Amino acid sequence: MTLTLRALALVLIGLVVGSLVRPLQAQPDGAPFQVGQRLTLSYNVERAIDCSVQEIRGSFLRCAPPKPDPFMKFPVYVTWYNTASTESISIRDK
**What single letter denotes the amino acid at residue 88?**
S
- Look at 11-25, 59-73, 75-89 and tell me which has the smallest mean pLDDT: 11-25
Q: What is the pTM of this model?
A: 0.57
Span 9-57, pLDDT tens digits:
666 566 555 555 545 444 445 678 889 999 999 988 788 888 999 999 9
User: How many domains, in total, are found in the chain?
Assistant: 1
Range of the domain at 35: 31-94
Q: Would 65 be classed as within a structural domain?
A: yes
Q: Would 10 be classed as within a structural domain?
A: no
Q: Would 6 be classed as within a structural domain?
A: no
Sign, CA dihedral 93-36-49-65, equals negative
Residue 70 predicted with pLDDT over 80: no
Q: Would 81 be classed as within a structural domain?
A: yes
| CATH number, residue 47 | 2.30.30
